[in-house]
Amino acid sequence: MSHPVKPAPRPLATPDFLALGETPTIGPLRACASLAGGRIDTSAAQADPAIAPLIEAAGLVFLFRYGVLVTVGAENDAIVGLVEALKPHIADPTTLNERESAHIEHDPGAHDNIGSEGQIRLADLGRERLTLVAIVLARSVALARDEFLLWDAFDRIAPLVTDLQENGRARLPIRSAMRLVGNVLAARHRIIGTAQVDERPDLLWDHPELDRLYARLEAEYELKERADVVQRKLDALGGFTEALLDIVRDKRAFRVEIAIIALIAFEAALSLFALLAR
């Protein structure tokens, strides 16, 4: 007697991510978030026939549009292979080796808590709970990227700040100053365009019973505190960009003034020469 084949779970798609594959039945599990790049074209990745077998081998996979891949139950080799296969669908691939991993234990009596060594104990291994874990890990990795971009931006402007402090003026050429403005603005654009880590996941609107789990995960990875620091640094970076643009305007205005003075002096010299030649 033949038994009906259990249908595979349908891909879970939201505005932020796409979930593919199935949860491994053998535990304990390891969830791993990997930074892949600036953005992932999840629709193209889902339609790519070369990726389907890699998803099947990896287990449960979440593709976040802001450039993060999260696997549940995959080995390192499977993760590396999946990231490599996704490259055609990744905008602005990164060289940063940012990863965040966590061990997941199925403990029906644990009431969804975090162990003393950071292991995540879940009452069940249902898709909803694992999705929350994936969201938190992905946001933590996205924050790590933002923190690096901010550090890099402040590192770039440090020599100019020192110049202003020691000499009272910026000796940076206009072209170099504008290039610095472009780098700072690019960093701000990348950060602002990524994950909104302080927003409540949409999943909780349909599953309010998981609010406590999300709060514990959010606290464990310090998402809110780190997001607040990133925002304060972004605000400071915005203020510095305005100051830098003012410096560029002043330099250009000074050049114009010098040009006008030189032109007036040249005209005066011509007039004097004409008078002397009479």
Block means of pLDDT (10 residues each) for the chain, 278 residues, are 45 71 79 92 90 88 93 90 92 85 85 88 91 95 88 78 66 63 68 71 91 94 89 79 68 55 56 58
Amino acid 157: pLDDT: 74
Give CA–CA dist 87/91, Å, rounded: 8
Instruction: Give the integer Cα–Cα distance in Å for 77 and 99.
Output: 14
Residue spans of the domains in the chain: they are: 12-141, 142-277
pLDDT score at 178: 65
Q: What share of the chain has pLDDT > 90, as a percent?
A: 29
